[in-house]
C-alpha cells in the first residue's frame, strides 16, 4: 500500500509539474508572439490595459447594452478613456426620464455612436448637444448591435422618452449580419444573448431567440458563468488569451460550416458597402423600416451611412455600390418613411477619412467625431 501511495504521489507530482511547465511555456510563447504582433489578437492584459468591457451586459431583450449607473475604463496604447452609463444604461452622465425636453434628439447606432475610444464630451452626441443647444439622448451600443436590436431598444425604451427627432446610424460592415442567425452559429457565440430575425412570409419577419428547454437553459447558464469567469481571468491577467482567441478565430475560418457561411459569403456577396446577400439585406432592412415607421410622428428622421476604409479603396478603384440591392432598398425606405439620407462616403476621400480614425480601434477619433458632427450640423441644422 505504501508503495502504491508513493507511486500515485509521484504520478500526481509529475502531472502537476508537466501541466505547470506547459502553461508557463504557453504563456511565454503568447507573450513573445504578442510583442511581435504575430497573432490575430495582440492585446495587453487588462491589468495593464483595461479593455472597457466591464460596463457591458446582455440581459435586456435587445441583448448588448450597458450596466446602469456604471463607470469603466478603456486603456490602449493609443488612448485612456472613461465610459459612464446613466440611469437607463445609456452612455451619458445625465439622467434620461420624462423631464427631458420635448425637442430632444435621439441617436441610435452601434459603437461609433456609443463613442468607443473617446471620452464622453468628445462623442458625436455630446458635440451635437453643445452645437444645437438641445438635449441629445445617446442610445448607441457596442458589443455587436444591429437593426433588430435597435428596433427593440427604440420600441421598449427610447420611444418612451420625450423627443422630436431621430438620427439613425447604419454601418453596412456589420448591420446586415448582426442579427442573421447564419452568421452566429459557432460554438464561441452560443453564450451570447441576442435576438435574431426569422422570415415569416414574403416581406414579413419576426424576432426569435434560440430556444432551449429548462434543463438546457440551466446548464447553459452554468457554462456561461464559468466560461465568462475563466475568460475574464485570462483576458485580465495573461497573454495566453491572445493565443486562445487567435486559435479560435482560425478554427472558425477553417471549419466547413463557417467556410460556407462566412468566407464564401465574403467572396460571393462582398463586404460592407459592397455587401449583396439579399437574404441578410431583406431581413435587416425590414427592422430598419419598422424602426423608422414607429418614429413617423417625429419632426425628422435622419439616416447616416458609415463607411470603412476598405470602401474608399474600392470606390477609388471605380467600383459602384449605389446600384446594389441594399443601397436601392434603403433609399426606397427613406422615401416611404419620409426620412432623410446622408452617406458619409460622399463627403470624404480615403486620405481624409483615414485621419478621422483612431489607430487602435478604427473607430472615429476625437477629430473624427468632430468632423461627423460638423457635417451633420452644416447639412441638417
| Alpha-carbon Rg for the chain in angstroms | 23
Summarised one tens digit per residue, pLDDT across range 263-272 is 444 445 689 9
pTM: 0.80
If asked whether residues 5 and 136 sit together in one domain, one would say no
If asked whether residues 5 and 104 sit together in one domain, one would say no
User: Position of cell 510583442?
Assistant: 35
If asked whether residues 189 and 287 sit together in one domain, one would say yes
Dihedrals phi, psi of 130, to nearest 5 degrees: -70, -45
In angstroms, the CA 233 to CA 229 distance is 6
pLDDT band for 212, please (50, 70, 90 cuts). Answer: low
Q: How many domains would you assign to the chain? A: 2
If asked whether residues 73 and 31 sit together in one domain, one would say no
> Could you please report the per-residue DSSP string of 213-278?
-HHHHHHHHHHHHHHHHHHHHHHHH-SHHHHHHHHHHHHHHHSHHHIIIIIHHHHHH-SGGG---H
Q: Which range of residues forms the domain containing residue 22?
A: 1-38
Summarised one tens digit per residue, pLDDT across range 70-108 is 999 998 888 999 999 999 999 999 999 999 999 999 999
| E-only strand ranges, the chain | 56-60, 63-66, 71-75, 80-84, 105-109, 136-140, 165-170, 196-201, 204-208, 300-305, 340-343
Please give the pLDDT value at position 262. Answer: 43
50 assigned to some structural domain: no
If asked whether residues 190 and 331 sit together in one domain, one would say yes
Summarised one tens digit per residue, pLDDT across range 164-205 is 999 999 999 999 999 999 888 755 556 678 899 999 998 899
pLDDT(44) > 80: no
Cell of 2: 505504501
166 assigned to some structural domain: yes
In angstroms, the CA 212 to CA 190 distance is 11
pLDDT(290) > 90: yes
Amino acid at each position: 500500500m505504501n508503495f502504491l501511495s508513493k507511486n500515485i504521489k509521484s504520478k500526481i507530482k509529475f502531472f502537476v509539474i508537466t501541466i505547470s511547465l506547459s502553461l508557463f511555456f504557453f504563456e511565454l510563447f503568447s507573450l513573445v508572439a504578442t510583442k511581435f504582433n504575430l497573432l490575430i489578437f495582440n492585446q495587453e492584459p487588462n491589468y495593464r490595459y483595461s479593455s472597457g468591457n466591464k460596463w457591458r451586459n446582455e440581459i435586456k431583450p435587445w441583448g448588448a447594452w450597458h450596466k446602469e449607473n456604471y463607470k469603466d475604463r478603456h486603456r490602449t496604447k493609443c488612448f485612456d478613456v472613461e465610459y459612464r452609463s446613466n440611469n437607463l444604461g445609456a452612455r451619458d452622465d445625465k439622467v434620461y426620464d420624462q423631464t427631458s425636453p420635448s425637442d430632444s434628439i435621439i441617436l441610435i447606432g452601434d459603437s461609433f455612436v456609443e463613442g468607443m475610444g473617446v471620452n464622453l464630451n468628445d462623442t458625436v452626441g455630446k458635440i451635437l448637444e453643445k452645437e444645437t443647444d438641445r438635449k441629445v439622448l445617446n442610445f448607441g451600443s457596442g458589443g455587436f448591435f444591429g437593426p433588430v436590436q435597435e428596433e427593440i431598444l427604440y420600441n421598449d425604451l427610447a420611444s418612451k422618452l420625450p423627443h422630436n427627432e431621430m438620427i439613425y446610424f447604419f454601418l453596412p460592415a456589420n448591420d446586415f449580419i448582426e442579427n442573421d442567425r447564419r452568421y452566429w452559429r459557432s460554438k464561441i457565440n452560443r453564450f451570447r444573448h441576442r435576438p435574431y430575425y426569422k422570415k415569416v412570409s414574403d416581406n414579413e419577419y419576426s424576432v426569435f431567440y434560440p430556444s432551449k428547454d429548462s434543463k438546457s437553459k440551466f446548464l447553459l447558464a452554468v457554462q456561461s458563468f464559468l466560461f465568462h469567469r475563466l475568460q475574464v481571468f485570462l483576458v485580465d491577467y495573461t497573454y495566453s488569451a491572445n493565443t486562445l482567441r487567435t486559435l479560435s478565430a482560425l478554427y472558425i475560418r477553417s471549419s466547413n460550416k463557417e467556410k460556407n457561411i462566412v468566407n464564401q459569403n465574403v467572396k460571393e456577396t462582398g463586404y460592407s458597402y459592397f455587401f449583396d446577400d439579399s437574404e441578410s439585406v431583406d431581413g435587416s432592412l425590414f427592422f430598419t423600416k419598422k424602426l423608422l415607421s414607429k418614429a413617423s410622428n417625429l419632426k425628422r428622421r435622419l439616416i447616416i451611412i458609415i463607411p470603412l476604409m476598405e470602401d474608399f479603396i474600392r470606390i477609388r478603384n471605380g467600383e459602384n455600390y449605389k446600384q446594389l440591392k441594399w443601397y436601392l432598398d434603403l433609399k426606397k425606405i427613406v422615401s416611404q418613411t419620409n426620412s432623410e439620407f446622408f452617406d458619409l462616403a460622399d463627403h470624404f476621400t480615403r486620405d481624409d477619412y483615414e485621419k478621422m480614425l483612431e489607430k487602435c480601434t478604427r473607430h472615429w477619433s476625437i477629430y473624427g467625431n468632430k468632423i461627423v458632427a460638423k457635417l451633420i450640423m452644416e447639412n441638417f441644422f
